């Protein structure tokens, strides 16, 4: 991992500026509403995992029942028919009447008129593969939600950096247009002076006024872009859309990019959270297959009851009872539905594996595109800086000549437009380079996320 940082030397930002941007990134990671939704999904999956873990432990239920009944079946007990003949025989043998011979038969209700049962019912799973595979699948899905949250956080980091540099770009362009406005106003003043002295015609003044209107229109457009860029950055941080954005110490030093995209691709495949989520989803599918197959095995549990029974609510040692059981449940046939469920899980796994292959190719393509975009952006910084320097030198010469009446106005205006355009292009190139840097950081998963 460390070698990637040696191979990929990105923009070096001054400490104060870096601190500001890091603060904004941290604020977004703590407050962004969409990221909070991802966090809630992850936390909900953790609770679901705890629920699955709890199925390994015994369940303990307190069950109480009180019944009052009437009617129903009756049971005849032939007590007299059985005992009376015996007693008569005993009387004859003993020559006495010691034994009664008129005992009646008995009839009893099948249902007790009153009855209660209060007990603790305990069940402990001993062998149940479905519980195990369910827990493993929930654990894998929890990691999927975590990876999805982290993937969003990485993308959010790149979005904040992009939005911040876009805002700085609009701020600097606004400053350039203010300078351009001053030049155009000076041109209008010089044109009016030359017209009064008969050195130019009235159209020179009109052209200067038209240029001033053009600059004012560009300023309005720039102000709109700046407001929107500020609002979007504040939106990412879940702040008031009009909150101030700090821009001090806005200067940079740049380094060349070293290394090739193959190494960056490898780092992306190893570290991008999207692929981690897919890998965990594949593991979850494996456990889903195991859960489907587990229906072919018996489930064995231990059950234990301890409680009290009787016609009245009494909790004495004469009323209590206990009962222990070993319970086995084995599904023999369920209309081939278990086999169909297993096939569904296998197909789901193959589908996810296909998605993984596609995701890897997309990420590699994303890295290559970001890498080459950054190289082009770096070249643009160099060329636009040279063009800006040349335009500044050229404008100084033509401005001096025009103020002395030695250069036509059209040449002056063309030089001024070229200067402003080159300054804007250089500013755009400079910040586009930072934006492309952030995009490559995201695509190649260079930066380490710091999330709880």
SS3 406: coil
pLDDT value at residue 362: 92
pLDDT at 256 over 60: no
Q: What CA–CA distance (Å, rounded) separates 370 from 362?
A: 12
Higher pLDDT, 8 or 381: 381
281, 399 contact by CB (below 8 A): no
CB 160 within 8 A of CB 233: yes
Which is it for strands 252-253 and 12-13: parallel, antiparallel or unpaired? antiparallel
- Return mean pLDDT, the chain: 83
Structural tokens at position 52? 């699955």
**Tens of pLDDT along 47-58?**
888 888 888 888
Two structure tokens written together for 399: 């401005």
Q: What local confidence, expressed as pLDDT, does residue 240 receive?
A: 92
Q: First-to-last CA distance in the chain?
A: 21
Listed residue (139, 37, 42, 1) closest to 452, CA to CA: 42
Distance from C-alpha of 395 to C-alpha of 411, rounded to nearest angstrom: 10
DSSP H helices in 303-407: 337-403
Q: In a 3-state reduction of DSSP, which class is residue 185?
A: helix
pLDDT of residue 99: 82
pLDDT at 6: 37
Whole-angstrom Cα Rg for the chain: 43
What is the average pLDDT across 17-44? 86
pTM of the model: 0.76
Domains and CATH numbers, the chain: 2-57+128-296+343-443 (1.20.1600.10), 72-111 (no CATH)
The enclosing H or E element of 300 equals strand 299-310
């Amino acid at each position: 991992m460390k070698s990637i940082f040696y191979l990929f030397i990105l923009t070096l930002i001054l400490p104060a500026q870096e601190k500001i941007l890091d603060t904004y990134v941290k604020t977004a990671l703590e407050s962004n509403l969409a990221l909070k939704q991802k966090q809630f999904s992850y936390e909900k999956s953790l609770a679901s995992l705890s629920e699955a873990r709890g199925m390994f432990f015994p369940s303990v239920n307190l069950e109480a029942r009180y019944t009052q009944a009437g009617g129903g079946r009756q049971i005849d007990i032939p007590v007299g028919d059985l005992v009376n003949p015996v007693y008569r025989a005993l009387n004859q043998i003993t020559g006495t009447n010691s034994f009664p011979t008129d005992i009646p038969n008995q009839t009893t209700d099948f249902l007790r008129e009153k009855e209660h049962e209060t007990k603790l019912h305990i069940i402990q799973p001993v062998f149940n593969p479905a519980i195990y595979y369910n827990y493993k699948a929930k654990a894998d899905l929890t990691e999927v939600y975590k990876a999805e949250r982290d993937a969003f956080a990485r993308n959010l980091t790149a979005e904040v950096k992009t939005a911040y540099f876009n805002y700085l770009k609009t701020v600097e362009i606004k400053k350039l247009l203010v300078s351009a406005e001053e030049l155009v106003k000076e041109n209008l003043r010089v044109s009016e002076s030359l017209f009064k002295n008969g050195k130019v015609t009235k159209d020179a003044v009109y052209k200067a006024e038209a240029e001033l209107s053009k600059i004012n229109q560009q300023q309005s457009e720039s102000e709109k872009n700046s407001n929107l860029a500020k609002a979007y950055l504040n939106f990412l941080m879940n702040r008031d859309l009009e909150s101030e954005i700090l821009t001090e110490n806005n200067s940079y030093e740049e380094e060349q990019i070293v290394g090739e995209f193959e190494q960056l691709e490898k780092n992306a495949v190893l570290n991008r959270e999207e692929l981690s989520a897919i890998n965990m989803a594949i593991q979850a599918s494996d456990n889903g297959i195991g859960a489907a197959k587990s229906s072919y095995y018996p489930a064995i549990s231990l059950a234990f009851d301890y409680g009290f029974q009787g016609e009245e609510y009494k909790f004495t040692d004469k009323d209590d009872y206990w009962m222990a059981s070993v319970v086995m449940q084995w599904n023999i046939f369920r209309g081939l539905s278990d086999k169909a469920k297993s096939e569904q899980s296998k197909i789901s796994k193959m589908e996810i594996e296909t998605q993984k292959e596609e995701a890897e190719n997309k990420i590699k393509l994303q890295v290559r595109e970001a890498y080459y975009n950054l190289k082009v952006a770096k070249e643009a910084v160099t060329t636009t800086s040279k063009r800006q320097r040349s335009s500044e030198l050229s404008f100084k010469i033509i401005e001096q000549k025009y103020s002395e009446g030695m250069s036509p106005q059209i040449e002056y205006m063309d030089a001024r437009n070229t200067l402003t355009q080159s300054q804007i292009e250089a500013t755009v190139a400079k910040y586009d380079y930072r934006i492309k840097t952030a995009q490559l950081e995201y695509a190649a998963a260079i930066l380490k996320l710091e999330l709880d």
